[in-house]
Structure 1
Amino acid sequence: MSYVQNIRLNEISLYFAYQRTTIGHEQFKGTFHAHQGVEILIVHEGHGTLIVDQKSYEMTSGMLCVFQPYQLHHIQMDPETPFVRSIVQFEPALYESYFSHWPRLLAFFKHIHTNKLTDPCLYELSELDQFHALFQSLEAKLPSLNKKDELEEYSLFLVAFFRSIMPLWEQREGQIRTGPTRKTHQAERILSWLEEHYTEPLRLELMSAELHLSPYHLSHLFTECTGTSISDYVTARRLKQAVLLLTSTDQTVARIGEAIGVTNCSYFCKMFKSQIGVTPHQYRKQFQKQQLAASLIATQ
């Protein structure tokens, strides 16, 4: 099933994991998932396939991936080899003010979490690159870090981290990527069709006719490639749009439900809470509280 992974970013300032290792089928459930804030994933070892924004990418050692808030993505790693990765997840609004002294760096930080990224991955990064030392330094500090010092320490880490990857990102965007050629995934046509029609009632017969696949083959192919059903993916995609509307507009909960194709408001609230953990109204209130806290920090 597709789902939104709850990292409790409304309760913690930053989620950090350095060189986490898994092997075998415990690695991932093979489903589409999303996160509340920005996720930075660095792959130290392992290989597999990533699907994000209806495109697929090769997962390989020495790569960095950026997942924007509530951006659905699917990772499938080879279970026969160790998967070693480092992860950082954070709510960008909480840290934006810390970048304000460096306009170019602030613009890059905003670009990463607000603009549509042409390509979310950097390839062929060396373990000697500066940001690996930053990860090691934060890992060493965490056991003795006081709660009152966390926000300052995390903000310094993020400023240094984004400063270290900015030239690498700009170099990549200024030339043809030198990393592995992107491989077309079998599910990409299906995902593109769903992107155009996810707010409509799901009609498998219409979908199969337009994609020239039998309903059985269509469902089987999608589940085999992504680890989730078409209906579960549509639910997750609708929730992603609902979160965007809740945080960027003042539309009523009922109107937002209609906008994503769920006309029954009660059912929309139930679906939202089962995946996000709170009701749409509670989520909007939490977001507004976070924005207020961030603005207060900026004025200090």
Structure 2
Amino acid sequence: MTYIQNLGLNEMPLYFTHRRQTIGSAQYQGTFHAHQGVEILFIHEGQGTLIVDQKSYEVTAGMLCIFQPFQLHHIQMNAEQPFIRSIVHYEPSLYEPYFDKWPSLLAFFKHIYTNKLPAPCLYAIGEPEPLLSLFPSLEEKLPDLPRKDYLEEFSLFLIAFFRAFRTIWERSEIKRSVAGPTRIKHQAERILSWLEGHYTEPLRLEVMASELHLSPHHLSHLFKECTGGSISDYVAARRIQQAVMLLNATDLSIAQIGETIGLSNTSYFCKMFKNHMGSTPHQFRNQRQK
């Protein structure tokens, strides 16, 4: 059986878990699946088998696995042993702008999800403290963190995570392998990439479908199947995420921010922002300044 998992990355822009444990469960006994975004899986304990791109890899403690967007994979663990893992799962197009000030780190961030990697696994990396210590730190902050601050906190986490991850990558055998060409994108990735370049424009499904060489019906159905939400809901959420960044990082007026994200009607922008964030843009900015 093969299926696409909907993990709600459009509502919750980053999923993570630290040292999650499964014992004697059939949860990891063999379904091929794929999902939106990049998943990075670290194995603390456990043994099993991983299949990615029709190749089999041994699963052992102290290894790290990378699953690229909509890449089919299947992990089967020995149910008689504890399976302990840490996971970070994110939508890369959302966080790419946060890496702009660090060109070499941005290049590595993009390489992980745009290039065809020589292998999906890094072995024998131990328990790298600079990387793994980031998980409990975020876990501790999250319960008291207002939802409006999630994106900022997650972006800081990912920047620190990739800084530590790059050091591990540079020392690994996989780095010394010849990197493959840019990988072929899943159709859902092509849709997300198109939206990333056009979300500030009026949404015209017919134009979008024509440029992506899909029918409007198939386009809408495919997006819903792969992300769990509608295109219009995704565009609205993406606009608000960009507005939050601009409110935090610039002195642009509320009207200017609305125009920047494609909402020239300031009243409508404020209403939409409040529906998503629980406060108006003015209130949000005042709270941040305090």
Q: By the TM > 0.5 criterion, same fold?
A: yes
TM-score, structure 1 normalization: 0.66
Structure 2 unaligned runs (5+)? 179-184, 195-207, 251-290
CA contact (8 A) 1:93 1:291 kept: no
Summarize deviations over 1:190-239 as a string: whole Å, max 9, x none. xxxxxxxxxxxxxxxxxxxxxxxxxxxxxxxxxxxxxxxxxxxxxxxxxx
CA contact (8 A) 1:49 1:75 kept: yes
- With over 3 angstroms needed to count, the CA separation of the structure-2 counterparts of 1:101 and 1:277, relative to structure 1, is closer
**Counterparts of residues 1-300 of structure 1 (less than 5 Å):** 1-172=1-172, 173-175=174-176, 241-248=186-193, 250-252=208-210, 255-256=213-214, 272=222, 275-276=225-226, 282-283=230-231, 285-286=232-233, 288-289=235-236, 292=239, 297=245, 300=250
State the 1:22 CA deviation. Answer: 0.7
Count of matched residue positions in the alignment of Structure 1 and Structure 2: 227
TM-score, structure 2 normalization: 0.68
State the 1:251 CA deviation. Answer: 4.1
CA contact (8 A) 2:16 2:89 kept: yes
Q: Which amino acid aligns with 1:43?
A: I
Highest RCO, 1 vs 2 (Cα 8 Å, sep ≥ 6): 1
Q: 2: CA distance between counterparts of 1:145 and 1:84? A: 26
Q: 2: CA distance between counterparts of 1:82 and 1:71? A: 26
Q: Which amino acid aligns with 2:67?
A: F
- With over 3 angstroms needed to count, the CA separation of the structure-2 counterparts of 1:253 and 1:292, relative to structure 1, is same
SS of the counterpart of 1:86? strand
Indicate the RMSD between aligned Cα atoms, in angstroms: 3.0
Structure 1 unaligned runs (5+)? 178-239, 258-264
- With over 3 angstroms needed to count, the CA separation of the structure-2 counterparts of 1:286 and 1:109, relative to structure 1, is farther
Aligned to 1:217: none
Q: 2: CA distance between counterparts of 1:109 and 1:277? A: 22
Q: Which amino acid aligns with 1:241?
A: H
- With over 3 angstroms needed to count, the CA separation of the structure-2 counterparts of 1:116 and 1:295, relative to structure 1, is farther
- With over 3 angstroms needed to count, the CA separation of the structure-2 counterparts of 1:50 and 1:256, relative to structure 1, is farther
- With over 3 angstroms needed to count, the CA separation of the structure-2 counterparts of 1:111 and 1:292, relative to structure 1, is farther
CA contact (8 A) 1:130 1:164 kept: yes
CA contact (8 A) 2:62 2:127 kept: yes
Q: Which amino acid aligns with 1:129?
A: E
SS of the counterpart of 2:7? coil
User: Which sits farther off after the overlay, 144-153 or 110-119?
Assistant: 144-153
State the 1:175 CA deviation. Answer: 3.4
CA contact (8 A) 1:134 1:157 kept: yes
Q: 1: CA distance between counterparts of 2:193 and 2:143? A: 37
User: Which sits farther off after the overlay, 139-148 or 80-89?
Assistant: 139-148
Equivalent pairs: percent with the same residue?
51
Q: 2: CA distance between counterparts of 1:73 and 1:275? A: 18
Q: 2: CA distance between counterparts of 1:271 and 1:288? A: 16
